[in-house]
């Protein structure tokens, strides 16, 4: 058995970090930290046609932003590297040749046209479409002759055609897959690059990976991987297949249904802590019925035994609720810093830092995403446009009297006084109650009849700012 827990996250550099990938990386990280093991980042870049420039840097930055640090990987080299599969081609070539020499793999010369025709026939006959093994027992000397003549070929794994593959999955228990459903997998492509299946087994063995943690879509490929471990005489790792992440309609989460990249969520003003908390609960459930978890608390409680087999629904409303909680409960200075870019891009002058902090403190009570902050803050920096109906409220005789009265009272105010008591005193002295007092004052200061308490508005604008706002709505 593997002595040390060693787990890996092995994304392809084909774009941005998907929320499904983030969950895999997160569960790898949580498990490694809890078991005092190692978390490895490996880049599976053998499919050069899908490589996207800058994707590796984006993946690493996204993980860093989310607080997920790897122990080994690009830039943190050890004796197990290199961590880019494209830099390990000679290793895969050696092991592919070993499989051929042992009789567990063979050269295949079937063209794309032949393979397409084969699958069409099988589907027409309502058969499970798979490679028909036409080169499975092809004489080796003939194969080598065709290769010497420069003929294009791949290497395929010679999978057992009878029996059942049985393996234990930590989440699912015993899994049985009929050998007849498993294809003779291509393990080395015609361009000399390995497929995922060979590379993943070789790398996981050489990097001493103890637990393979991946999405449930890889369950059907596990027999191919187990067979290769057996062919090489290697110890198999423990298998952990995570449930799918689903849309609310139970379809698989995909770009067509909305945002799936971590970067998209960060750009919209979701906090890394909220995203991590939310994604932790996409499949895993704690012992107690709690929703808010720090990553340190999760590390203490985390176990794969508490991960569900069933798909986990990505509930955007729950994410918004959770993000709103973090916005309201995180240190004010952190939220204020995270919001600055929205004010800058809207040309709002926030050089008065004390006022800015007071604005954020009040406005964050109304938002579930940081990108909503301007909608609840701009009225503190520019006079709001009022509807004709609201202008009429402010121009009524009672409202005009009230504004004059408040200007007089605020002019005598000491801001160190209790503003709640000050407002209560004004209500009493004015003789106005309920909406007759609150609506005109809120309209004059905030631009809406509902909103923050008046003491909070006076605190934001200060004495002079409050008087100026009230005077602005006085009829000359």
Q: Strand, coil or helix: what is 140?
A: helix
Catalytic residues: 255
* Beta strands 38-41; 238-242: pairing state: unpaired
Helix-helix angle 272-280:19-34, to 10 degrees = 80
C-alpha pair distances (Å), 21 with each of 10, 28, 42, 222, 285: 9, 11, 13, 19, 19
Peptide bond preceding 384 in cis form (omega within 30 of 0): no
Question: Residue 76: beta bridge partners?
Answer: 73
Write the DSSP string, 369-390. SGGGTGGGTGGGTSPPPPPHHH
User: Which residues make Cβ contacts (< 8 Å) with residue 422, sequence separation at least 6?
Assistant: 409, 413, 455, 458
Handedness of CA 50, 52, 56, 59 (dihedral sign): negative
Which helix (H) or strand (E) is 272 found in, with range? helix 272-280
Count the Cβ atoms, other than its own, within 10 Å of residue 4.
Answer: 11
Q: Strand, coil or helix: what is 6?
A: strand
């Amino acid at each position: 058995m593997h002595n040390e827990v060693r787990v890996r996250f092995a994304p392809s550099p084909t774009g941005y970090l998907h929320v499904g990938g983030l969950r895999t990386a997160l569960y790898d990280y949580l498990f490694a930290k809890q078991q005092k093991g190692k978390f490895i980042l490996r880049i599976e870049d053998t499919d050069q046609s899908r490589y996207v420039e800058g994707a590796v840097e984006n993946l690493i930055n996204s993980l860093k932003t989310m607080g997920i640090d790897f122990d080994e990987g690009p830039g943190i080299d050890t004796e197990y590297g290199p961590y880019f599969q494209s830099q390990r081609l000679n290793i895969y070539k050696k092991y592919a040749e070993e499989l051929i020499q042992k009789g567990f793999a063979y050269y295949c010369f079937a063209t794309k046209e032949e393979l397409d025709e084969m699958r069409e026939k099988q589907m027409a006959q309502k058969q499970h479409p798979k490679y028909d093994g036409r080169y499975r027992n092809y004489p080796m000397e003939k194969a080598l002759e065709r290769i010497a003549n420069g003929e294009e070929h791949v290497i395929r794994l010679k999978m057992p055609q009878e029996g059942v593959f049985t393996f234990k999955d930590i989440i699912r228990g015993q899994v049985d897959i009929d050998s007849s459903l498993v294809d003779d997998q291509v393990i080395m492509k015609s361009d000399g690059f390995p497929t995922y299946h060979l590379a993943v087994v070789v790398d996981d063995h050489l990097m001493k990976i103890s637990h393979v943690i991946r999405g449930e879509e890889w369950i059907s490929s596990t027999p191919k991987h187990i067979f290769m471990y057996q062919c090489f005489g290697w110890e198999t790792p423990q298998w952990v297949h995570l449930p799918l992440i689903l849309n609310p309609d139970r379809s698989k989460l995909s770009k067509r249904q909305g945002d799936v990249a971590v970067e998209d969520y960060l750009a919209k003003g979701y906090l890394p802590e909220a995203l991590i908390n939310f994604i932790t609960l996409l499949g895993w459930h704690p012992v107690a019925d709690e929703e808010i978890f720090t990553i340190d608390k999760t590390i203490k409680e985390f176990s794969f035994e508490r991960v569900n087999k069933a798909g986990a629904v990505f509930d955007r409303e729950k994410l918004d609720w959770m993000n709103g909680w973090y916005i309201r409960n995180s240190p004010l200075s952190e939220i204020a810093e995270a919001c600055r870019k929205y004010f800058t891009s809207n040309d709002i002058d926030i050089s008065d830092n004390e006022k800015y902090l007071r604005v954020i403190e009040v406005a964050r009570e109304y938002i579930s995403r940081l990108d909503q902050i301007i909608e609840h803050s701009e009225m503190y920096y520019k006079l709001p446009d009022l509807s004709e109906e609201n202008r009429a409220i402010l121009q009524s005789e009672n409202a005009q009297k009230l504004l004059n009265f408040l200007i007089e009272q605020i002019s005598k105010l000491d801001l160190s006084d209790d503003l709640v008591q000050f407002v209560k005193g004004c209500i009493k002295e004015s003789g106005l109650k309920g909406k007759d007092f609150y609506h005109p004052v809120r309209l004059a200061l905030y631009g809406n009849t509902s909103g923050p308490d008046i003491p909070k508005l006076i605190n934001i604008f200060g004495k002079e700012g409050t008087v100026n706002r009230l005077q602005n709505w006085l009829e000359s």
